């Protein structure tokens, strides 16, 4: 009897485990179900798939949804797609669910706890406070090199002398606000309006910028003055008038003036013709915000999306009806499926840790522009973050992804200082056009040295300084240009 009970209990336990597994599998399948978002079909779509992608087709409306296989880096089977459950496929991308801190000497970033992948988008430079310059205030890692040093603004002191005032951090004695000239206010001209010091030299006297009066100077101009002390403020300005009273200035209230600008009261409603629209003045023929008509969609180019005018003529379209994506080995693009207009056409860009995989499209094994961790896109342009290093070869940033330290050429200003990294070119290394003999000056000795060199004499010259016309070669043209320069002709050496 006991044996039968033990057998029955074991059987029930196994059945319970199998039931839980089935319920778990059912829940997983339901969580990964895909439904049509283009119609009212409430049945899950059945996927079709190959080794790289899956395709869902709605039997009710025929709409399609295609995507590449994907998964999680910590899943047991890295050849099974999480979305469509297809097995023995190639996962295009692995997503990460748990992050830990990753760092090096200059940066910190989130790192996947399972596979160690770096989260590029969250990479930041280390920062520190002045009491502890080697510990990051964000990630608390020690022995780092901080890009920015923060000071405690509650622990500071204001100092000054006869002409300037400044702020000094009391923790490290660093001047955290560069010296600024003393200024006073016209209502209290003997006290600095910023540091409250007296008996100092004031660089200027400030006036209230928001209250002012006006005095007539002539038929064409009036003078802005301070409302507190009546001292002239700014330059004289032309009279302005309203179009309903064109001989009365709106600033100084003088009459019999000649206005440079007429002010208008424009209608809130658009006026238009076949090609453009505008706001019309209620009292004269003036027009404002004149612009060409623009259509919202390429499928309806006869209605202006700005002024709602119908039966218009325009070639400007904001939105296209449909999009077709494409790419080749170097670029990706989108074009309108309705009118064929090219929406965009951009170069492939890839992370340095995966240099042939475009981060913006599905192109793989492509010819991509490499992006390093320190390269970020701030509105409108690329920029670099993190500490910058330099020597005579150039300047560079250290990539936390691939370790790249490739120097980039210096961009020197007229003082031989790089405009990017502030590297100062040594005087002996600075190029001096016309200094053929490298003695630091340009005179007749340089012209003689160049002529001797061109006559095959055994003399040593600076080839770079000798190319004074900038054509990349050293010849008799350079000698003639240098002689004209020494004879004070109006010539610039290059």
Based on its alpha-carbon atoms, the radius of gyration of the chain, rounded to whole angstroms, reads 37
Dist CA 468 CA 431 (whole Å): 11
The two structure tokens encoding residue 46:
């059945």
| pLDDT top residue among 355 and 21 | 355
pLDDT tens per residue, range 355-377: 999 988 888 999 999 999 888 76
* pLDDT, position 312: 86
Dist CA 65 CA 54 (whole Å): 8
Give the range among 10-24, 108-122, 373-387 with minimum mean pLDDT: 10-24
Which residue reads 């309006």 in tokens?
A: 193
pLDDT over 70 at 17, yes or no: no
Is 431-494 assigned to CATH 3.30.930.10?
A: no
pLDDT tens per residue, range 378-431: 666 777 888 899 988 899 999 888 989 989 888 888 778 899 999 987 755 568
The two structure tokens encoding residue 325:
């994506």
Residue 191 near residue 165, CB atoms below 8 Å: no
pLDDT over 60 at 27, yes or no: no
| Backbone angles phi and psi of 411, in degrees to 5 | -115, 95
pLDDT over 70 at 341, yes or no: yes
Model confidence, pTM:
0.51
The two structure tokens encoding residue 298:
């390429």
3-state secondary structure of 175: strand
pLDDT tens per residue, range 255-265: 999 999 999 99
- Provide CB contacts within 8 A for 392, sequence distance 6+: 425, 426, 429
pLDDT over 90 at 31, yes or no: no
* pLDDT, position 427: 59
pLDDT over 60 at 19, yes or no: no
The two structure tokens encoding residue 163:
């002409």
3-state secondary structure of 481: helix
pLDDT over 90 at 271, yes or no: yes
Give the range among 108-122, 123-137, 270-284, 424-438 with minimum mean pLDDT: 424-438
Residue 238 near residue 261, CB atoms below 8 Å: yes
Beta-carbon neighbour count of residue 383 at 10 Å? 11
Of 386, 409, 405, nearest to 396 by C-alpha is 405
| pLDDT top residue among 218 and 472 | 218
* pLDDT, position 377: 67
Beta strands (DSSP E) in 239-286 are: 240-242, 245-249, 261-263, 266-272, 276-281
CA atoms within 13 A of residue 119's CA, in its CB half-sphere: 19
Strands 212-216 and 237-238: unpaired
pLDDT tens per residue, range 196-213: 999 999 998 888 877 788
The two structure tokens encoding residue 466:
């000798």
* pLDDT, position 389: 92
The two structure tokens encoding residue 184:
């006073």
């Amino acid at each position: 009897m006991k044996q039968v009970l033990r057998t029955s209990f074991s059987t029930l336990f196994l059945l319970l485990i199998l039931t839980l597994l089935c319920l778990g599998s059912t829940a997983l399948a339901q969580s990964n179900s895909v439904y049509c978002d283009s119609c009212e079909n409430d049945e899950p779509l059945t996927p079709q798939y190959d080794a790289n992608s899956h395709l869902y087709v709605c039997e009710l409306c025929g709409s399609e949804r295609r995507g590449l296989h994907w998964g999680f880096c910590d899943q047991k089977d890295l050849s099974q797609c999480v979305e469509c459950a297809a097995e023995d496929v190639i996962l295009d991308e692995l997503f990460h669910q748990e992050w830990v801190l990753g760092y090096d000497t200059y940066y910190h970033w989130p790192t996947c706890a399972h596979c160690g992948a770096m989260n590029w988008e969250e990479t930041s430079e280390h920062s520190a406070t002045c009491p502890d310059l080697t510990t990051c205030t964000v990630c608390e890692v020690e022995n780092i090199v901080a890009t920015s040093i923060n000071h405690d603004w509650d622990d500071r002191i204001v100092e000054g002398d006869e002409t300037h005032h400044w702020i000094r951090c009391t923790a490290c004695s660093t001047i955290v606000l560069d010296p600024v000239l003393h200024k006073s206010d016209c209502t209290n001209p003997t006290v600095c309006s910023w540091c409250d010091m007296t008996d100092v030299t004031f660089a200027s006297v400030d006036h209230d910028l928001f209250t002012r009066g006006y005095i007539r100077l002539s038929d064409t101009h009036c003078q802005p003055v301070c409302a507190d002390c009546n001292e002239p403020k700014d330059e004289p300005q032309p009279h302005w008038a309203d179009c309903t009273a064109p001989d009365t200035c709106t600033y100084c209230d003088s009459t019999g003036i000649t206005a440079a600008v007429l002010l208008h009261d424009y209608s809130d409603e658009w006026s238009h013709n076949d090609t453009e629209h505008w706001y019309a003045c209620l009292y004269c023929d003036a027009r404002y915000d004149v612009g060409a008509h623009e259509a919202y969609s390429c499928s309806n180019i006869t209605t202006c999306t700005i002024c709602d005018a119908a039966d218009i003529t325009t070639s400007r379209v904001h939105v296209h009806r449909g999009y077709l994506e494409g790419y080749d080995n170097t670029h990706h693009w989108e074009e309108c499926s309705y009118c064929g207009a090219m929406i965009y056409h951009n170069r492939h860009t890839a992370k340095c840790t995966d240099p042939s995989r475009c981060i913006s499209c599905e192109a793989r094994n492509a010819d991509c522009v490499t992006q390093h961790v320190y390269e970020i896109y701030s509105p409108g342009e690329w920029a670099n973050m993190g500490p910058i290093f330099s020597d005579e070869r150039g300047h560079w940033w250290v990539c936390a992804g691939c370790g790249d330290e490739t120097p980039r050429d210096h961009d020197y200003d007229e003082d031989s200082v790089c405009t990017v990294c502030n590297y100062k070119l040594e005087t002996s290394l600075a190029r001096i056009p016309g200094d053929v003999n490298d003695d630091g000056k340009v005179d007749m000795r340089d012209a003689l040295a160049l002529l001797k060199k061109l006559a095959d004499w055994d003399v040593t010259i600076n080839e770079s300084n000798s190319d004074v016309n900038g054509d990349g070669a050293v010849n008799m043209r350079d000698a003639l240009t240098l002689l004209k320069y020494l004879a004070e002709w109006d010539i610039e050496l290059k």
